[in-house]
Amino acid sequence: MRTIRDHIKNRTFAPCYLICGKEEYLKSLYRDKLISALVSGTDSMNYARYDGAKPDLNEVSDQGICPPFLEEFRVLVFCTTGLLKGSNDLAERMKNFPETTICIFVESEVDKKNSLYKYIKENGCISEINGLDEKDLLMFIGAELKKANLSVSENTAAYLLDQVGQDMNRLKHEIQKLSSYCMGKGAVERSDVDDICCPVADVKIYKMLDAIMEKKTDRALKLYSELLAMHEKPMSILYALTKAFAQFAQVKELADRGMNSNEIAGKLSLQPFIATKYFRMRNNVSQTELCHAVWYGTKLEQQIKAGNLDETIAVEMYITTGGKE
């Protein structure tokens, strides 16, 4: 992200950019910052955007080789086209583009062996964005609320994160709701978060894992009941819990190899706060216990699918046994 900011500030642009990762809000933000810096607001002749399906590469080539008309740059934007997965010859075609053509790719998943990925890595700029850490997210909350002339304590901001999760699109939406709800109050309080914000299921899943690890069975069962009240299906909850244990096991394995939490987040494409959470808890459980929890969760899923076990009871069994058969 810093590289993109520097390029915009100094107007020293690379011929191509790849913005990838799991944090959709920041990916969209930096995509739009680049576009705004490269394309005048009314210019449609020198700008083309391809969304969703893989574009016609002959059409792309025709666009790319043309010099811009009465502007500094011609800009081609590719959003979730899948060009960074599978095979195609766009990298070869881009070698013929003039310096005035700039390509911007925005993807959630990429194949680092892909020829286009290698070309961008060698000739352009790759920014992988998987989210901010908790400290930066708290600053983001404070800055966004300040725009609405509202203050917020660090504890209340942390509580908001705890309730709605760290997906920035969702967080931005909840901050907008708080800004309207608290207009004229001067400050956002914890009670305001309770009144207007919607807790999300994945946050409760991680809280359930914490409770299970801490052997707080009553707390875990209460969270399970809350998820059911939110119309989450027991099978989906079991799957999410099993996946969380699997992620925990992966983090612990990489930490034991000497990697820090930031390196692990990048390696596993995890949001930083999840990697940090597991990293801090890694010494409280053995790898054998984590792997067994994954195995047991998978076994219960199979029994449910075979019709041998009620899904609601299965999750209760998983919680009360702490992921142990």
Residue 151 pLDDT greater than 70, yes or no? yes
At 261 the pLDDT is 87
Name the band, by pLDDT with cuts 50, 70 and 90, for residue 2. confident
Name the band, by pLDDT with cuts 50, 70 and 90, for residue 325. low
The residue among 233 and 324 whose pLDDT is bigger is 233
At 146 the pLDDT is 94
Domains (range + CATH), the chain: 2-128 (3.40.50.300), 134-196 (1.10.8.60), 201-320 (1.20.272.10)
At 44 the pLDDT is 76
The residue among 270 and 239 whose pLDDT is bigger is 239
The residue among 132 and 37 whose pLDDT is bigger is 37
User: What contacts 287, CB < 8 A, 6 or more positions away?
Assistant: 249, 252, 253, 256
CA distance 147 to 285: 43
User: Percent of the chain, pLDDT > 70?
Assistant: 99
Query: Which region among 116-125, 126-135, 242-251 has the lowest average model confidence (pLDDT)?
Result: 126-135
H helix or E strand, kind and range, residue 246: helix 234-256
What is the SS3 assignment for 75? Answer: strand
pLDDT (tens digit per residue) in 170-223? 899 999 999 999 999 999 999 999 888 887 888 888 888 888 888 899 999 999
- pTM above threshold 0.85: no
pLDDT (tens digit per residue) in 28-47? 999 999 999 998 877 678 99
At 299 the pLDDT is 93
CA distances (Å), origin 114, targets 1, 50, 100, 206, 244: 22, 19, 24, 34, 29
The residue among 198 and 59 whose pLDDT is bigger is 59
Query: Which region among 47-56, 97-106, 261-270 has the lowest average model confidence (pLDDT)?
Result: 261-270
pLDDT averaged over every residue in the chain: 90
pLDDT (tens digit per residue) in 240-290? 999 999 999 999 999 999 999 888 988 888 877 788 888 988 888 899 999
- What are the residues facing 104 on neighbouring strands? 17, 77
The residue among 163 and 311 whose pLDDT is bigger is 311
At 1 the pLDDT is 77
